[in-house]
Amino acid sequence: MTKVIKNGTIVTADRQWKADVLIDGEKIVEIGENLKGDETIDATDAYVIPGGIDPHTHLEMPFMGTTAAETFESGTFAAAAGGTTMLVDFCLPGEDGSLLNAIDAWDKKSKDQICTDISYHMAITGWNENIFEEMEAVVKQRGINTFKHFMAYKGALMVEDDEMFASFKRCAELGALPLVHAENGDIVQAMQEKLLAEGQTGPEAHAYSRPPELEGEAANRAIMIADAAGTPLYIVHVSCEQAHEAIRRARQKGMRVYGEPLIQHLTLDESEYFNKDWQYAARRVMSPPFRNKMHQDSLWAGLSSGSLQVVATDHAAFSDVQKRMGLENFTLIPNGTGGLEERMAMLWTQGVETGRLTPEEFVAATSTNIAKILNIYPQKGGIMVGGDADIVVWDPTITKTISTSTQKSIIEYNVFEGYEVTAQPRYTLSRGDVIWAYGQNSQPQPGRGKFVRRPAFASASKALSKWKSLNTPRKIERNPMNIPSGV
């Protein structure tokens, strides 16, 4: 059975043009004028864009003594409702430390729930021979080409510099891409202790304990380590000018570093933590925390200039009850906010509608760039014959006020509550299936999503590897006669 998306304006990361899109089964089979199919999806007055890819979610993640409330089902359905057709979740090793077992566990959790396609980043939270070995299987057998490293959450997920170096070097060998959460965990912890000792227990102290300089420092450090190990690097949730500056500085030296701002950091600021309502502030607690307007300007400029490539959400949604674990102590508030459903509409409204971004840049930031980085382009992230029919009919005429009452996320609040957005997905298609139709009471289709395997050795990885091998420092050949015979 075929479907044709008719009368829309296709927007890719490259260009805009009017054309119809013919889908056969899961794939796009033709793009052109006057196409016909068994079914017609109307895209009149709308854009036809690649389905969004959110490369940073934590669904049902065990963390800080609890488990993120958003499930794979509710999360992927919220994603679909917002125009996102694939997400990449972070897979954490369990107590046995095994990477492969962790993937199995994640598969088990996700499999029957997911409404869209997913993939995982594998977290490296320690270092030993077994991890070194398993990494190869993770890449080659499981199709995961990214490894996440936490420079914060000391005593829990954090890894040390030598562990990062070892893992990054392993990534370089395997053609995989290391990711980092960049904050100096030692200093975060010290700041937390200092603040608590001073009686600062409220959610605003969460922000105080993680100033931008700590993030910039860690970004800078990770970049150096990646350069030493000879691998590209991807820095998640770049929230501030300091980290962005470190990225720019690296890139202008020819280093291959990617930066991912979150939609939250682009649009919300630190004053949220100063709200007199504890629950309001606690709901916004995430790491890194929101920053001020100056940082937002920096991030937006990064998206248009190319020093930042991807907009994600770090969706990690905890309920009010969970947030209250930190009522007496901000360090116990589970870190995380939502955004899966709002990412695309918020970025369009505050980016494209203001002229900060072109429509093409919007597509690049929401799907194409990350698809290339993750080495799954153009299966995902494009509108291209042969690619998966992960497509959104993006309607720039639907205006909506974000509200908990209408959201698909299962938590009881929304950090974008009250924000007006000026575009919404009219239809969201995942591999050819309409999984969301605006205003038509779409329902979750758990279990239809698939795990997407991602091959190693993306083009940037190969180029860097070539450069590094041509530029290894050379041994000086010395005449043994000139070398003293020792003592």
Subset of 297-316 contacting a copy of itself (CB under 8 A): 297-298, 300-302, 304-307
Amino acid at 470: L
| Unique residue bearing structure tokens 């910039």 | 216
Q: Which of a copy of itself, Zn ion, none binds 314 (CB below 5-8 Å, type-dependent)?
A: Zn ion
Query: What residues numbered 143-162 form the site for a copy of itself, per CB under 8 A?
Result: 160-162
- Residues in contact with 219: Cβ distance below 8 Å, sequence separation at least 6, in sequence order: 180, 182, 235, 238, 242, 243, 246, 247
One of 121, 142, 169, 181 touching Zn ion (CB under 5 A): 181
Q: Quick count: other Cβ atoms within 10 Å of Cβ 370?
A: 28
Using CB atoms within 10 Å of the CB of residue 284, give its burial: 0 to 12 exposed, 13 to 18 middle, 19+ buried: buried
| Helix 293-305 × helix 241-251 angle, to 10° | 30
Q: Could you say whether residue 89 binds Zn ion (CB under 5 A)?
A: no
Q: Could you say whether residue 199 binds a copy of itself (CB under 8 A)?
A: yes
One of 356, 400, 448, 450 touching a copy of itself (CB under 8 A): 356
What would the two tokens of residue 78 be? Answer: 């919220």
Amino acid at 69: A
Min separation Cβ 418 and a copy of itself, Å? 18
Nearer residue to a copy of itself within complex by CB, 137 or 190: 190
Nearer residue to a copy of itself within complex by CB, 89 or 227: 227
Nearer residue to a copy of itself within complex by CB, 80 or 374: 374
Q: Which of a copy of itself, Zn ion, none binds 199 (CB below 5-8 Å, type-dependent)?
A: a copy of itself
Nearer residue to a copy of itself within complex by CB, 112 or 213: 213
Nearer residue to a copy of itself within complex by CB, 136 or 360: 360
Can you tell me the distance from the alpha carbon of 106 to that of 280, in angstroms, rounded to the nearest whole number? 31
- The contact mask relative to a copy of itself for 234-273 (x = CB under 8 A, - = no) is -----------x--xx-xxxx-x----------------x
In this chain, which stretch among 48-56, 79-87, 142-150, 278-286 interacts with a copy of itself, using CB under 8 A?
278-286
Distance of CA 159 to the CA centre of its chain: 20
One of 202, 288, 396, 449 touching a copy of itself (CB under 8 A): 202
SS3 of 383-436:
CCCCCECCEEEEECCCCEECCHHHCCCCCCCCCCCCCEECCEEEEEEECCEEEE
In this chain, which stretch among 56-64, 139-147, 353-361, 393-401 interacts with a copy of itself, using CB under 8 A?
353-361
Query: What residues numbered 216-255 form the site for Zn ion, per CB under 5 A?
Result: none
Buried b (16+ CB within 10 A) or exposed e, 216-250: bbbbbbbbbbbbebbbbbbbbbbbbbbbbbbbbeb
One of 65, 108, 155, 276 touching a copy of itself (CB under 8 A): 276
Nearer residue to a copy of itself within complex by CB, 298 or 428: 298
Amino acid at 268: L
Q: Could you say whether residue 361 binds Zn ion (CB under 5 A)?
A: no
Buried b (16+ CB within 10 A) or exposed e, 51-73: bbbbbbbbbbbebbebbbbbbbb
By the 8 A CB rule, do 365 and 309 touch? Answer: yes
Q: Which of a copy of itself, Zn ion, none binds 15 (CB below 5-8 Å, type-dependent)?
A: a copy of itself
Q: Could you say whether residue 200 binds a copy of itself (CB under 8 A)?
A: yes
Alpha helices in 28-143 (DSSP H): 72-82, 99-111, 129-140
Nearer residue to a copy of itself within complex by CB, 178 or 382: 382
Nearer residue to Zn ion within complex by CB, 287 or 414: 287
What would the two tokens of residue 41 be? Answer: 């999806």
- Residues in contact with 201: Cβ distance below 8 Å, sequence separation at least 6, in sequence order: 328, 329, 330
- Residues in contact with 177: Cβ distance below 8 Å, sequence separation at least 6, in sequence order: 145, 146, 147, 171, 231, 232, 233, 234, 373, 374, 458, 461
Q: Could you say whether residue 290 binds a copy of itself (CB under 8 A)?
A: no
Amino acid at 74: S
Min separation Cβ 451 and a copy of itself, Å? 22
Min separation Cβ 286 and Zn ion, Å? 8
Query: What residues numbered 321-340 form the site for a copy of itself, per CB under 8 A?
Result: 321, 324-325, 327
Query: Total residues contacting a copy of itself (rule CB under 8 A)?
Result: 106
Min separation Cβ 311 and a copy of itself, Å? 15
In this chain, which stretch among 176-184, 289-297, 390-398, 402-410 interacts with Zn ion, using CB under 5 A?
176-184
Q: Could you say whether residue 187 binds a copy of itself (CB under 8 A)?
A: yes
Query: What residues numbered 291-330 form the site for Zn ion, per CB under 5 A?
Result: 314
By the 8 A CB rule, do 383 and 22 touch? Answer: no
Q: Which of Zn ion, a copy of itself, none binds 108 (CB below 5-8 Å, type-dependent)?
A: none
Can you tell me the distance from the alpha carbon of 314 to that of 295, in angstroms, rounded to the nearest whole number? 18
Q: Could you say whether residue 466 binds a copy of itself (CB under 8 A)?
A: yes
> Which residues would be at the binding site for Zn ion (CB under 5 A)?
181, 314
